[in-house]
Chains A and B, each alone.
Chain A
Amino acid sequence: MRELGKDKMMKRTLLIAAAVLGFAAPAYAAGETPVPPQQKWSFAGPFGTFDRAQLQRGFKVYREVCSSCHGLTYVAFRNLSEEGGPEFSEAQVKALAAEYQITDGPNEAGDMFQRPGRPADRFPAPFPNDNAAAAANGGKAPPDLSLMPKARTYERGFPWFILDVFRQYSENGADYMVALLNGYEEPPADFQVPEGGHYNHYYPGHVIAMPQPLSDGQVEYPKNEAGQPQAPETVDQYAKDVTAFLTWTAEPHLEARKRLGFQVMLFLLVLSGLLYFTKKKVWARVGGEVEGHATPPMTHNP
Chain B
Amino acid sequence: MSEHSTTYVPKSAFGKWFESRLPIAGLIHSSFIAFPVPRNLTYFWTFGAILAFMLVSQIVTGVFLAMYYTPNAAMAFQSVEHIMRDVNYGWLLRYLHANGASMFFVAVYVHIFRNFYYGSYKAPREVLYILGVIIFLLMMATAFMGYVLPWGQMSFWGATVITNLFSAIPGVGETIVHYLWGGYSVGNPTLNRFFSLHYLLPFMIVGVVILHIWALHVPGQNNPTGIPIKSGKDAVPFTPYATIKDIFAVVVFMLFFAWWVFYVPNYLGHADNYIPANPAVTPAHIVPEWYFLPFYAILRAIPDKLGGVIAMISAILIWCLMPWLDTSKVRSTAYRPLYKQFFWLFVVVCVVLGWLGSRPAEGWYVIASQICTVYYFAHFLIVLPVLGFVERPLPLPNSILESVMGVQKGGAGMPAGANAAPHSKG
A: residues with CB less than 8 A from B are 22-26, 29, 46, 74, 79, 143, 146-147, 150-153, 158, 164-165, 168-170, 172-173, 204, 250, 252-253, 256-258, 260-262, 264-265, 268-269, 271-272, 275-276, 278-279, 282-283, 285-300
Contact = CB atoms under 8 A, between A and B. Distances in A.
B41 A299 contact: no
Contacts of A257: 91-92, 95, 262, 265
B266 A170 contact: yes
B274 interface: yes
B316 interface: no
Interface string B208-232: 0000000000000000110000000
A264 B405 CA distance: 39
A292 B274 contact: no
B251 A272 contact: yes
Contacts of A79: 85
Contact of A291 (B42, B81, B395): B42
Nearest to A292: B224
Nearest to A172: B271
Given A25-B364, A29-B360, A150 B274 contact: yes
Nearest to A254: B91
A257 B397 CA distance: 51
A300 B244 contact: no
Nearest to B86: A76
22 contacts: A29-B360, A150-B266, A151-B271, A151-B275, A153-B271, A170-B264, A170-B266, A170-B267, A258-B263, A260-B262, A271-B251, A272-B251, A278-B248, A283-B241, A286-B241, A287-B408, A287-B412, A290-B404, A291-B224, A292-B40, A293-B224, A294-B406
B59 interface: no
B263 A46 contact: yes
Interface string B394-425: 11010000111111111111000000000000
B180 interface: no
A269 B359 CA distance: 37
Contacts of B236: 286
Given A288-B411, A296-B335, A150 B271 contact: yes
Interface string B242-273: 00110110011011001101111111000110
B151 interface: no
Interface string B40-84: 111100000000000000000000000000000000001001001
B397 A300 contact: yes
A265 B255 contact: yes
Contacts of A153: 271
A293 B334 contact: yes
Nearest to A73: B78
A27 to B, nearest CB: 10
Contact of A268 (B39, B247, B258, B408): B258
Contact of A147 (B262, B274, B409): B274
B402 A23 contact: no
7 closest cross-chain pairs (CB), A and B: A287-B411, A261-B262, A294-B406, A151-B274, A290-B404, A153-B271, A296-B394
A7 B7 CA distance: 70
A282 B241 contact: yes
Given A279-B244, A287-B408, A300-B405, A23 B284 contact: no
B80 to A, nearest CB: 10
B332 interface: yes
A291 B407 contact: yes
B368 interface: yes
B241 A168 contact: no
Contacts of A152: 271
Interface string B81-119: 100110000011001000000000000000000000000
A282 B404 contact: no
B105 to A, nearest CB: 16
B363 interface: yes
A272 B252 contact: yes
Interface of B: 39-43, 78, 81, 84-85, 91-92, 95, 224-225, 236, 240-241, 244-245, 247-248, 251-252, 254-255, 258-259, 261-267, 271-272, 274-275, 284, 332, 334-335, 355-356, 359-360, 362-365, 368, 394-395, 397, 402-413
Contact of A279 (B248, B261, B271, B405): B248
Main secondary structure of the interface of A (DSSP, over half): loop
A300 B406 contact: yes
B120 to A, nearest CB: 14
Nearest to A298: B397
A287 B397 contact: no
B395 A296 contact: yes
Contacts of B248: 272, 275-276, 278-279
A118 to B, nearest CB: 16
Contact of B403 (A22, A172, A269, A298): A298
B404 A168 contact: no
A291 to B, nearest CB: 5
Contacts of B225: 293
A290 B240 contact: no
A299 B335 CA distance: 14
Given A283-B245, A286-B236, A292-B404, 13 more contacts: A151-B272, A165-B264, A168-B263, A275-B247, A283-B241, A290-B39, A290-B407, A290-B408, A290-B410, A291-B42, A292-B40, A294-B397, A296-B394
B44 to A, nearest CB: 10
Contacts of A250: 274
A295 B395 CA distance: 11
Given A286-B236, A300-B406, A265 B364 contact: no
A79 B334 CA distance: 59
A284 to B, nearest CB: 9
A294 B263 contact: no
Given A275-B247, A275-B248, A276-B248, A287 B409 contact: yes
Contacts of A286: 39, 236, 241, 411-413
A168 B159 CA distance: 30
Nearest to A46: B263
Contacts of A271: 251
Contact of B261 (A261, A276, A297): A261
Nearest to B408: A290
A278 to B, nearest CB: 6
A49 to B, nearest CB: 14
A256 B261 CA distance: 12
B240 A282 contact: yes
B262 A258 contact: yes
